Structure 1
């Protein structure tokens, strides 16, 4: 497993921005499930300040705008996605910050946020425990943390064949970190399989959603050929091509009063 290279991640996601919205079907499914949990747990729909970390092209931002009313929006992304965000929030009071969220001054200086939300982002962080600690300080008493990330089972097909993957945090570790400052309302892992016509389409999907920023696997003609052969042998699904499995973890936690 590898430690994320933030500059490579930024480059890969910036390159993937034009194709991201069309290709990131699983990420969109995760965003919708996060909103569904938001509504199920009856989280506030009226608030003063919300911070979204890793807003990207605005998939979750758009769902949030349809779900809540916030007087002040703070949005962050490692890539400059303002041209995607501006049309979504043109009637809202918002501030966009293009920076590494782990070193964001917002998380270190703010102490009045109602909710911090993020989907499919924090698996890229180097120090997720410290991030949770910063969130606890930035939130109001009884403020909410609403997150999705991924478990060690994520993209298991790719890890098995290449040995390349992130050092994902287990659900048990998330529980230990969260319970220090939060009441945990939801902490749940799910499996979301998706299917592609061929192993090459799997790799293309990862590239077009920026996920190929995970590591520095060196592809040769021989490796690519063997990868395709092994992938079909191990992960072929009758009448559905080949599989690729995402394993999101959903988190909703309330800051202790």
Structure 2
């Protein structure tokens, strides 16, 4: 998927103050990913695309690592993490596009939650992450599949292109390390279509369409969405989730 990184940085920087209160999907994914990793002792952890640090908090709570290295393309997101973890002394911060950063150090765990779908060359990036692992280290990440937010795509004929399960599986297979890949398709509910759009915006994941919506277009979208994708709980949106765990051979 091709997304301009400067646009990506801009949208996530704007969302740095609102991310936590609206990232229920991302928090759900992160917790499930830790279940897929299962038991382990990880002393040195690198998180890619840490955002506001909600997944970082789960990592620290679960594994109590000695050191944590945090990367994000948005300096504003890292500033949010600096405030969040001000009492945690063994965290280092590494701003920038992870595809342009040379990773230094050896890690027991390299983790990423709801981030790697933005990369321009996932296979190359994953190989680099594996190289940064110690022997028997773990690379674990979540991403999104090709059925993601399909309701929005059906109404706008526009959206990000995500990898199918078979495409993701082929990439992981090419890495020649033992791995597991699980997928989950789940619906999250929102009060109404406008609430859904606001929630997406507050997590930085909208705004990549080249089309500028007028008020009339927005109203038509809301009306059509609520007529087609509502039930007794409100409006729903489908999320297609991938959980990948790669274990580097010793």
State the SS of the aligned residue for 1:126: coil
Tell me whether 1:14 sits opposite 2:13 in the alignment: yes
Unaligned regions of 5+ residues in structure 1, if any?
none
| Over 6 Å off, 4+ runs | none
1:133-144 matches, within 5 Å, as 133-144=127-138
State the SS of the aligned residue for 1:247: strand
Unaligned regions of 5+ residues in structure 2, if any?
none
Deviations, residues 21-67 of structure 1 (Å, cap 9, x unaligned): 0011111111111122223xx2x2242x2110011111011111111
Asked if the contact 1:71/1:92 (under 8 Å) is kept, the reply is no
Asked if the contact 1:114/1:139 (under 8 Å) is kept, the reply is yes
Cα distance in 1 for partners of 2:211, 2:189 equals 23
Number of the residue aligned with 2:189:
195
Tell me whether 1:29 sits opposite 2:28 in the alignment: yes
Query: Of residues 74, 93, 98 in structure 2, which corresponds to 1:96?
Result: 93
Q: What TM-score results when the alignment is normalised by the length of structure 1?
A: 0.90
Cα distance in 2 for partners of 1:85, 1:225 equals 36
Cα distance in 2 for partners of 1:148, 1:50 equals 16
Q: What TM-score results when the alignment is normalised by the length of structure 2?
A: 0.92
How many residues in Structure 1 have an aligned counterpart in Structure 2?
247
Asked if the contact 2:189/2:235 (under 8 Å) is kept, the reply is yes
State the SS of the aligned residue for 2:178: strand
In the TM superposition, residue 101 of structure 1 has moved relative to its aligned partner by: 1.1
Using a 3 Å threshold, how does the CA distance of structure 1 residues 15 and 141 change in structure 2: closer, same or farther?
A: same
Number of the residue aligned with 1:162:
156
Number of the residue aligned with 2:176:
181
In the TM superposition, residue 221 of structure 1 has moved relative to its aligned partner by: 2.8
Asked if the contact 1:75/1:94 (under 8 Å) is kept, the reply is yes
Deviations, residues 167-221 of structure 1 (Å, cap 9, x unaligned): 212222222222233201x311112211122221221111111111332232123
